[in-house]
Structure 1
Amino acid sequence: MPLTPQQMDEKMDEHFAYEGSDDVDGVLATLADDVEHDIVGWPTGPSHGREAARRFYEATFRDLSDSSVRCVRRRYGENFMIDESIWAGRAPGKPFGLEGRDRPLEFRLLHVVEFTQAGTIKRENVWIDFASIVRQLPQD
């Protein structure tokens, strides 16, 4: 039986809550063991498996802090969702190779997420508004 939109919302909100508290193990627990984790534009490309995804989260949590995610809209299909959100926080490190200098940062995210029947995330494809990040973190 397919997941309901409410079940997908709950899992995605749990995932974002772990991200907001920089809890790598919590985030990874929302992913399937064999997850395909694809942050479009990430230098190493898509990764496969929880432990491979760990590297992205550890780097991101060093570079970004005080994060929150606000959902703009979601669309649902059979065991998948499309989530448009706004990420807001600070950039104390070097997010995406840019000097953050602890400046405030806000950008749009588009997630295309597929779920297992058990409700874990089996594929996470993330599109980031990189142009917005570059405008907010000029490198003078």
Structure 2
Amino acid sequence: MALTRLEMDRKIDEHFAYEASNDIEGVLSTLVPDVVHDIVGYPPGPSFDREGARRFYESLFGELSEGKIECKRRLYGENFLVDDSLWRGRASGRPFGIEGNGRPLEFRLLHVIEFADSGDIARENVWLDFTAILRQLQN
């Protein structure tokens, strides 16, 4: 059964809210057990379950802090959405292997999210503006 735009918005906004509060259990609760979690270019590659996603978020939450996402645009299809957003926060650790020193950081994110019939996230593909990240952290 196809989800409505409102149902998809609620789930992705819930997911982003858990990310913003560094709530790993909350984030994982928005994912199906056999989720495909793919941060494009992430060295370990995609994961195919919640535990793989957990390892990514444990690392991420140690590197970035005070994160807020501002949605710029969303496109919708049958049980999927594309979210174009701007992430703002601080590089509190060593994100992407570069010393953050608590500096402010902002970059664009593109999410392609597929939903299961249950309404939970079945696949999360994420692309980030790595050039913007490097430019800010290497100065």
Q: TM-score normalized by structure 2?
A: 0.99
Deviation at 1:83, TM superposition (A): 0.3
Counterpart of 2:118 in structure 1 is 118
Q: Aligned partner of 1:116: which letter?
A: A
Q: How many residues align?
A: 139
The amino acid that maps onto 1:80 is F
Give CA deviations for 1:41-72 in whole Å, capped at 9, x if unaligned: 10100001001110000000000000100000
Q: CA RMSD of the aligned region, Å?
A: 0.7
Question: 1:110 aligns to what SS in structure 2?
Answer: strand
- Alpha-carbon shift at residue 97 of structure 1 (Å): 1.1
Q: Percent identity?
A: 63
Whether 2:29 is the aligned partner of 1:19: answer no
Equivalent position of 1:88 in the other structure: 88
1:54-93 counterparts in 2 under 5 A? 54-93=54-93
Unpaired segments ≥5 residues, structure 1: none
Once residues 65 and 39 of structure 1 are traced to their aligned partners in structure 2, the CA distance between those partners, rounded to angstroms, is 18
Gap runs ≥5 in structure 2? none
Deviating runs (4+, > 4 A) in structure 1?
none
Question: TM-score, normalised on structure 1?
Answer: 0.98
Q: Which residue of 1 aligns with 2:6?
A: 6
- The CA deviation string for residues 101-123 of structure 1, in whole angstroms up to 9 with x for no partner, is 10000000000000001100000
